[in-house]
A and B are shown apart, each in its own frame.
Chain A
């Protein structure tokens, strides 16, 4: 080995790609995939049952409610929670984060790469079953389009928020689950202010604006319903990069 090492740094895009590949490989486990595919299948099965039912007066409204209540209150946040909290949180907990941290790389590409990996796994596990569900409930093209758009926006936003949580607290999955169940599931239903502070309020607005079905809390127009969660995601990622810079690494 030669003495002396030239100053080498990893360019940000390369660092992002490397992190993405590593985190993706760590995230995708058979157990996680099987469990979350099963949850998605349950949502699609419920949608199919609604679609073939003769006892529903307004099939479109029933379809929208299945997608909004089951899909966007349960499936999407839980899938994002599982993968995004694990993206860097698992690496921190098991001690492997040091192999990305003690490197001549900036912090933000590490965060961005991990987030991209979580989104890559989360999107198909949510958008596909919800898309299938929206077809099975016979909600028409508008519902399918709204579901896909809301699904993409929600996965992006939840993944960023939960990735930040994974760096902020240990047992982030427990805290995240409490957030999903208590804040998104209950508190957000008690008025406009908590609804504006939950991803759920925006996904419901996307569906309402595209289908015309009047959902509670879904009273924003399409543009802010898409833009606000994306801005929230960007802020969460910036905070996560800052946190990664300042945190203790085992």
Chain B
């Protein structure tokens, strides 16, 4: 995966390989709403996770890559061409869209078979059975997909995206609704496909999910590329950022003074029965707070991070630019 030079966050990009998907200075606006703003990156074989909160612009980016909507500015190429204009390249893309839309009156086999037929696959029945096997669904099941559970519908979408053996797989929140067993199975499948030279772009808004998807991550927040590169570097960056922690305790003033005296916090504000501390070393703070309270004879009631949610992580990444 390659991305534009970034001053911050300091996340490194892996070596450049031949890009299968390239997004160059792309912006997309819907009326007055800017969904994607000046995004540049390219991706090659392997699994790349697209991480971002809901409404960050992930689905719009995926739609742009597939040619489902044209960019307002910039270019999006798959194998060097615009999927919107080139029908051949559309045959090399597999998309599992986020929306829960299927031809509800068809069986799973028929739905996936139709996907194979519309990709000009020579033996659609065999291809559909194989793709359904990948996602652990029974091709003989006659029930219409309209009667399927959310997780099963998700797997039908995945099977339809896989049926043409695509070189580029774009999977928008594909793990939503899956049980843990299926989730593991799908993640293994994604890695196998990536190892086989396919380009997989997988979106998620769940940090831990992304950790398991792969080491290459694109972080999208507020329509912008907030970070790109190796997941471990990104995780480290997230852990190293300043944290705000609320401590509910007896004698918060004494506790605050001790925290400051031992340089465990960068700043602290005190109220009647609690303090809010800012620290850039959350691990040291976590290790020290209980022994320190014991030493002071202060009873701790609650220690709660105030900014550990994903939204605040994204906000931090964006505001540091």
Task: List chain A positions with a Cβ less than 8 A from chain B.
Answer: 1-5, 7-11, 14-15, 18, 22, 25-26, 94-96, 98-106, 248-250
A8 contacts across to B, CB distance below 8 A: 88, 91, 119-121, 164
CA–CA, A139 and B196, complex, Å: 72
User: In the complex, what residues of A have CB within 8 A of residue B88's CB?
Assistant: 7-9, 104
Write 11 A-B pairs (CB below 8 A) sorted by A numbering.
A1-B162, A5-B165, A8-B164, A9-B91, A14-B117, A18-B114, A26-B105, A98-B68, A102-B67, A103-B87, A248-B68
Q: Are the C-beta atoms of A101 and B68 separated by less than 8 Å? A: yes
Residues of chain B within 8 A (CB-CB) of A2 are 165, 196
Q: Which residues of B contact A105 (CB under 8 A)?
A: 87, 118
Residues of chain B contacted by A14 (CB below 8 angstroms): 117, 120
- Asked whether A18 and B118 contact (CB < 8 A) given A96-B101, A249-B68, A250-B99, the answer is yes
Q: A96-B101, A99-B103, A102-B68 are in contact. Are A15 and B92 (CB under 8 A)?
A: no
Q: CB within 8 Å of A: which of B199-227?
A: none
Main secondary structure of the interface of B (DSSP, over half): loop
Decide: A99 and B115 in contact? CB cutoff 8 A.
yes
B171: Cβ under 8 A from any A Cβ? no
A95→B87 contact, CB < 8 A: no
How many contacting A-B pairs (Cβ < 8 A)? Answer: 98
Given contacts A10-B118, A26-B103, A99-B115, contact A5 B69 (CB under 8 A): no
Contact B115 A25 (CB under 8 A): no
CA distance A242 to B284 in the complex (A): 63
B193 contacts A by Cβ under 8 Å: yes
Given contacts A98-B97, A102-B66, A102-B67, 17 further A-B contacts (CB under 8 A): A5-B164, A8-B91, A10-B117, A10-B118, A10-B120, A18-B118, A25-B103, A94-B101, A98-B68, A102-B93, A103-B119, A104-B91, A104-B119, A105-B118, A248-B70, A249-B63, A250-B99
Q: Is B95 an interface residue when CB atoms closer than 8 A count as contact?
A: yes
A106 and B87 contact, Cβ closer than 8 Å, known pairs A8-B119, A99-B115, A100-B118: yes
How far, in Å, is A12 (CB) from chain B's closest CB? 11
Q: Which of B94-128 contact A (CB under 8 A)?
A: 95, 97, 99, 101-103, 105-106, 114-115, 117-121
The interface residues of chain B lying within 8 Å CB-to-CB of A5 are 91-92, 164-167
Q: Does B160 contact A (CB under 8 A)?
A: yes
Cβ–Cβ contact A96 & B165, under 8 A: no
Interface presence of B197 (CB below 8 A): yes
Which of the four size classes fits the interface of chain B?
35 or more
Residues of B near A249 (CB, < 8 A) are 63, 68-69
User: In the complex, what distance in Å separates the CA atom of A99 from the CA atom of B68?
Assistant: 11
The 6 A-B pairs with the shortest beta carbon distances in the complex, nearest first, are: A95-B101, A104-B91, A3-B197, A8-B120, A249-B68, A95-B99
State the Cβ distance, B64 to closest chain A Cβ, in Å. 11
Shortest CB–CB separation between residue B157 and chain A, in angstroms? 10
Instruction: Say yes or no: is B153 at the interface (Cβ < 8 Å to chain A).
Output: no
The answer for the CA separation of A105 and B68 in the assembled complex, in Å, is 14
Residues of B within 8 A of A104 (CB): 87-88, 90-91, 119-120
CA distance A101 to B118 in the complex (A): 10
Residues in A with CB closer than 8 Å to B117 are 10, 14, 18
- The reply to whether the CB of B198 lies closer than 8 angstroms to some CB of chain A is yes
Measured between C-beta atoms, what is the minimum distance from A107 to chain B in Å?
9
Residue from A7, A9, A98 within 8 A of B95 (CB atoms) = A98
